[in-house]
Amino acid sequence: MPYLQISNVSKSFGTFQALKDVSLEIEEGKFVCFLGPSGCGKTTLLRAIAGLDIQTSGRILQGGRDISALPSSQRDFGIVFQSYALFPNLSIADNIGYGLKNSGKSRKEVAARVAELTELVGLKGQERKYPSQLSGGQQQRVALARAIAMAPGLLLLDEPLSALDARVRLHLRSELKSLQRRIGVTTIMVTHDQAEALAIADQLVVMNQGVIEQVGTPQEVYRNPKTAFVADFVGHMNFLRAEVVGEGNVQVGGLILAAETGGLPAGEIVSLCFRPEDIQVRGIAAGNKNTIEVRIEEMEFLGTFYRADLALNGPTSPRVMADFSMNAARDLALEPGKIIPIAMPADRLRLFGEKRG
Amino acid sequence: MADTFAFDLAPPQAKEPAKIRPIVSREEWGMRAGLGLLALYLAVTIAIPLFMLLRKSVEDADGSFIGLANFHRYFADPALSLSFQNSFFISILGTAITLWLAFWYAYAITRSCMPARGLFKALALIPLLAPSLLPGLALVYLFGNQGIFKSVLMGQSIYGPIGIITGEVFFAFPHAVMIITTALAMADQRLYEAADALRAGPVRTFFTVTLPGCRYGVMSAGFVIFTLIFTDFGVPKVIGGSYDVLATDIYQQVIGQFNFQMGAVIGLLLLAPTVLSFAADRITTRRQQSMVSARAVPLEPKPRRAVDRACFAFCLVIAVFLLGVMGMAAFGSVVKFWPYNLSLTLMHYDFGKLGTDGWNPFWNSLKLSAFTAVFGTAIVFAGAYLVEKIRGFGIARSAVHLLAMLPLATPGLVLGLSYIFFFNSPDNPLNFLYATLTILVICTITHFYTVCHLTAVTALKQLDAEFEAVSASLKVPVWRTFLRVTVPVCLPAILDIAIYYFVNAMTTVSAVIFIYTGSTKLMAINALNTDDAGNSAAACAMGMTIVVTCALVRGLHALAGRTFLARHQAWRRRSA
């Protein structure tokens, strides 16, 4: 039985529907990311789970207990906000022990637990400082330690890393993940950063305009996006307007490409999608399927690879992005203006009904 | 059609899922009850009394409804309606002069590099320590029939519009300087750099950058001081002579002639412009807030020799005037018999010799100020907390917020008069409060409620909005976080509110003059009565006693701020 069961949850603010009939199940001990653009409803769903803004309709069960209508104070969760909401007038130790002191534990027990937690988040020796004396990353750890101090059944993280600079963010991201593994608490993190979500989550929940678009492991979501929105939002993706011209074939501009058409009738207008890194430039034999000649229009150096802008046929044709490794670029002497053959493996091409604008 | 029919028969819950009814925790109920109590308190102390005033104005002496007959009578009486014109004349001219002086003073403090800017800023606030009758008294000493500078007026009398306007400018000046200073301080350096880069000269920059940037602040200051002058009672009472204004009229009608109905009419005439000006002020301040973005770079003024010198000279003149007026009052209180015997004496401070009251009014004032500071601050801060922190419950919160705004638009005299109508009514179960110090405390808390409420709300809005959510997740009750986090973090604002209440309770005359009794006489009122009886030296001495008390308490406040905050609130410092 799943630890957290969300069924048919809707939330309206006046006439605006922030969540539309959302259902989701989360297994115990999993690290789940709610991912989506701003305004997609991910924070609204988190706040409904926390009881901070209770949903208009629908049920939420945590560990078998119906918490749908309970106030926050009667639910079982710890939370870290984007702002951290640390108490500025209390020392780090007092911040972390804030809930413990109130729970009827003895002074000694509280002190021992606080010491254990400061050790756990790597802030030993900083206990007597105040939040304003710590760096952003350290403040984030204090907020985390405070949130897990009462050993809650559920840890909620609302964009906890977005206030930090890029380097600290990468570092804390992996620490957060390993900490969660160690204590095994079921965790939900809200984020709009797809790279972060892919790196950290056991399970991704991609949301858009108040509905869940797809649920799955990061690999599943990345490899097999179920909707055009997910394909576009997670990772980079090329979109080309195409027409189905029979079983297993689509036409783009003047080109016929092999692709899995999945029963779409001929004449159907679709979006043809593929990722920049799925374009092959090496080992292409003349007779391979989906091999075409393209012209490199521009190449952008991105450190570990090049992102190239390719014209499929002629300067007015649609452009596509392709990622070339440094090795390939060097070996094949790739440069703007050059005409090269590329292959687009049929199993990496995906078709979506033409709905996105 | 058949399909539609079948669809309509489907059970309704299939279409409309059951709504969740959030369970309200006991704490939340407690907070809601607190908000309800606050609404009730504000209704009893401001809304209902004002309604009684309104009712009184359309009744005759026997209490039967006579429509607008009282208003007709008022405007038919040329002596009375003349005061209406006089009030407007005084207020508009006084506002214009104060604004002009205060703007350049504030400009010099914030935008020049002249020396002693901090000192000038502090000097501008001196008038706040005194009851408004004190500048009136000092002006009589300076320019009155036996004044040292009488010849400056070239035959004009200080008793009348000249004296009133001069006194009001002194009285309103610090308020205008504070508001305009705030507006000028919020400036974006980048705009000035852009103006520079576009080769705009200093004059053009002033008119295209400086002035537009602070225009709402200046307008807001204009509305505030118009209200202050329009409703002030102390200055015209002392120096007005036979030049009547609404504020002195209302006093004569009520205290002199026991004509409560006419008092109510004048009260409403005082109330109408202040309500309008208040509404206009709210609209302009709302605009000001959206002007400066969070990313603005604070302006650092650069030295400009000529401008800095001019600023310094200007501020020096103003400061000399302010100190001169205050110094004259101080001097007047310690000379034996102005202007014939200038030997120094403390005999005017021997209040025991003056009459039966002795030092009682002083102790009453001190008690009033202390109680007002303690209870006022507690009610205001707890109230602002409830308004800010209760989730949902929107109508009640807006109602309380609106009630909290009402006192600022209500002149003190109107408030005091409405308290007579409400609390003195034999049918009122709260009648037992009448003629006690308690009602003076309640009245004073209400009189200055709005500014304190806004201060508290501003301080609370600066706190992280999620403190309560975090506490709830940690199972810590709301009141505990309130005491352990909210109050300590807001302590500077709380102290500011307390000191504001204390000083105002010490100096106010207008609201309490209608509801004090023999045993609850206050120092400022005593000074007014003593001057009325012809003993202006003793009146000066009483005024100076108030000034010294206020200055001491303010000094104590500053000291407490330095030492206490430094010792117990080490967290405010960035690095340890």
DSSP states along B440-458: HHHHHHHHTHHHHHHHHHH
Contacts of A132 in chain B (CB under 8 A): 571-572, 574
CB B155 within 8 A of CB B83: no
Q: Is residue B201 within 8 angstroms of chain A, CB to CB?
A: no
pLDDT digits (tens, 9 = 90+) for B156-171: 888 999 999 999 999 9
Q: Is residue B21 within 8 angstroms of chain A, CB to CB?
A: yes
Domain of residue B420, residue span = 25-56+358-521
Angle of helix B48-57 relative to helix B260-289, nearest 10 degrees, comes to 130
User: What is d(CA B274, CA B256) in angstroms, rounded to the nearest whole number?
Assistant: 25
Q: Is residue B24 within 8 angstroms of chain A, CB to CB?
A: yes
pLDDT at A314: 62
- What torsion do the CA atoms of A220, A226, A228, A230 make, to the nearest 10 degrees? -40
User: What is d(CA A231, CA A251) in angstroms, rounded to the nearest whole number?
Assistant: 20
Residues B129 and B45 in one domain: no
Nearest beta carbon to residue B20 from set A56, A86, A91: A56
pLDDT at A88: 92
* Sheet strands (E) in B395-479: none
Q: Do A74 and B27 touch (CB under 8 A)?
A: no
pLDDT at B446: 96
End-of-domain residue from the set B497, B521, B545: B521
Angle at A124 between CA A121 and CA A128, to 5 degrees: 115
Q: Do B470 and A69 touch (CB under 8 A)?
A: no
Domain of residue A334, residue span = 238-353
Alpha-carbon radius of gyration of chain A = 25
CB B138 within 8 A of CB B328: yes
Is a pLDDT exceeding 80 seen at residue B289? no
Is a pLDDT exceeding 90 seen at residue A69? yes
Residues B417 and B490 in one domain: yes
Number of domains in chain B: 2
pLDDT at B294: 55
Average pLDDT over every residue of A12-19: 92
- Cα distances from A207 to residues A51, A173, B31, in angstroms, run 20, 21, 36
Residues A169 and A311 in one domain: no
pLDDT digits (tens, 9 = 90+) for B416-456: 999 999 998 888 888 888 889 999 999 999 999 999 999 99
Residues facing A307 on adjacent strands:
A300, A323
CB A88 within 8 A of CB A130: yes
Average pLDDT over every residue of B446-468: 92
Q: For residue B312, give both structure tokens.
A: 């310094």
Q: What is the mean pLDDT of chain B?
A: 88
Is a pLDDT exceeding 90 seen at residue B60? no
Residues B277 and B369 in one domain: no
The answer to the question of residue B35 being in a domain is: yes
The answer to the question of residue B30 being in a domain is: yes
Residues A47 and A74 in one domain: yes
Which pTM was predicted? 0.87
From A200's Cα to the closest Cα of chain B, the distance in A is: 24
Residues B110 and B42 in one domain: no
- Kindly report the CATH number assigned to the domain that includes residue B472: 1.10.3720.10
Q: Do A74 and B25 touch (CB under 8 A)?
A: yes
Residues B48 and B86 in one domain: no
Is a pLDDT exceeding 50 seen at residue B2? no
Is a pLDDT exceeding 90 seen at residue A14? no
Query: Which residue in chain A is spatially nearest to B467 when comparing CA positions?
Result: A85
For residue B4, name the pLDDT band (cuts at 50, 70, 90): very low
Residues A211 and A331 in one domain: no
Residues B74 and B205 in one domain: yes
User: What is d(CA A131, CA A93) in angstroms, rounded to the nearest whole number?
Assistant: 10
User: What is d(CA A111, CA A107) in angstroms, rounded to the nearest whole number?
Assistant: 6
Look at B468 and B287; give whichever has higher pLDDT: B468
Q: Do A130 and B570 touch (CB under 8 A)?
A: yes
From A318's Cα to the closest Cα of chain B, the distance in A is: 41
pLDDT at B307: 92
Closest by CA to B572, choosing from A151, A117, A133, is A133
pLDDT at B573: 62
Contacts of A67 in chain B (CB under 8 A): none
User: What is d(CA B480, CA B57) in angstroms, rounded to the nearest whole number?
Assistant: 48
Is a pLDDT exceeding 50 seen at residue B535? yes
CB A118 within 8 A of CB A126: yes
The answer to the question of residue B574 being in a domain is: no
From B543's Cα to the closest Cα of chain A, the distance in A is: 41
3-state secondary structure of B19: strand
For residue B86, name the pLDDT band (cuts at 50, 70, 90): very high
Residues B46 and B117 in one domain: no
pLDDT digits (tens, 9 = 90+) for B175-220: 999 989 988 887 788 888 889 899 988 899 888 888 888 888 888 8
pLDDT digits (tens, 9 = 90+) for B290-306: 555 556 677 788 888 99
- Kindly report the CATH number assigned to the domain that includes residue A264: 2.40.50.100
Instruction: Find which of B13, B15, B19, B20 to mutate to test the A interface (most A CBs within 10 Å of its CB).
Output: B20
- Kindly report the CATH number assigned to the domain that includes residue A121: 3.40.50.300
Q: Do A130 and B571 touch (CB under 8 A)?
A: yes
The answer to the question of residue B14 being in a domain is: no
The conformational region for residue A20 under phi > 0 = left, psi -120 to 50 = alpha, else beta, is: beta
pLDDT digits (tens, 9 = 90+) for A228-275: 999 999 999 999 988 999 888 998 877 888 988 888 888 889 999 999
Residues A113 and A194 in one domain: yes
End-of-domain residue from the set A233, A256, A280: A233
Q: For residue B569, give both structure tokens.
A: 């609130």
What's the distance, CA A284 to chain centroid? 34
The answer to the question of residue B566 being in a domain is: no
Average pLDDT over every residue of A47-58: 95
pLDDT at B575: 45
Closest by CA to B504, choosing from B520, B522, B526, B492, is B522
Residues B47 and B79 in one domain: no
Q: For residue A108, give both structure tokens.
A: 């000694």
pLDDT digits (tens, 9 = 90+) for B121-144: 999 999 999 998 999 999 999 998
End-of-domain residue from the set A233, A248, A274: A233
Residues B31 and B137 in one domain: no
Residues A179 and A256 in one domain: no
CB A61 within 8 A of CB A10: no
pLDDT at B1: 40
Residues A38 and A139 in one domain: yes
Query: Which residue in chain A is spatially nearest to B475 when comparing CA positions?
Result: A73
Q: Is residue B489 within 8 angstroms of chain A, CB to CB?
A: yes
Contacts of B480 in chain A (CB under 8 A): 102
pLDDT at A195: 92
Contacts of B484 in chain A (CB under 8 A): 87, 90
Look at A85 and A357; give whichever has higher pLDDT: A85
Please give the single-letter amino acid code of residue A133.
Answer: Q
Number of domains in chain A: 2
pLDDT at B402: 86
Residues A46 and A157 in one domain: yes
For residue A309, name the pLDDT band (cuts at 50, 70, 90): very high
Closest by CA to B32, choosing from B395, B442, B424, B302, is B395
pLDDT at B7: 44
The answer to the question of residue B300 being in a domain is: no
End-of-domain residue from the set B291, B322, B339: B291
- What torsion do the CA atoms of B162, B163, B164, B166 make, to the nearest 10 degrees? 80
Q: Do B464 and A98 touch (CB under 8 A)?
A: no
For residue B17, name the pLDDT band (cuts at 50, 70, 90): confident
CB B489 within 8 A of CB A88: yes
User: What is d(CA B39, CA B94) in angstroms, rounded to the nearest whole number?
Assistant: 37
End-of-domain residue from the set B291, B306, B341: B291
Question: Backbone phi, then psi, for A188, in 5-degree steps?
Answer: -120, 125
Residues A229 and A305 in one domain: no
Residues A243 and A201 in one domain: no
User: What is d(CA B85, CA B459) in angstroms, rounded to the nearest whole number?
Assistant: 41
Residues B259 and B381 in one domain: no
Please give the single-letter amino acid code of residue B58.
Answer: V
Residues A115 and A247 in one domain: no
Q: Do B476 and A131 touch (CB under 8 A)?
A: no
pLDDT at B79: 82
Q: Is residue B31 within 8 angstroms of chain A, CB to CB?
A: no
Closest by CA to B228, choosing from B98, B102, B108, B58, is B98
pLDDT at B281: 78
Residues A216 and A104 in one domain: yes
End-of-domain residue from the set A178, A213, A233: A233
User: What is d(CA A282, CA B161) in angstroms, rounded to the nearest whole number?
Assistant: 96
Q: Do A102 and B475 touch (CB under 8 A)?
A: yes
Query: Which residue in chain B is spatially nearest to A91 when comparing CA positions?
Result: B571
Whose tokens are 């393209």? That residue is A294
Whose tokens are 């007038």? That residue is A89
pLDDT at B564: 73
pLDDT digits (tens, 9 = 90+) for A196-234: 999 999 999 999 999 999 999 999 999 999 999 999 999
Is a pLDDT exceeding 80 seen at residue B45? yes
The answer to the question of residue B544 being in a domain is: no
Residues B281 and B395 in one domain: no
Q: Is the peptide bond before B339 cis (omega within 30 degrees of 0)?
A: yes
From A70's Cα to the closest Cα of chain B, the distance in A is: 5
Residues A244 and A146 in one domain: no
For residue A355, name the pLDDT band (cuts at 50, 70, 90): low
For residue B356, name the pLDDT band (cuts at 50, 70, 90): low
Residues B171 and B116 in one domain: yes
Chain B, residues 440-469, CB within 8 A of chain A, namely 464-467, 469
pLDDT at A260: 87
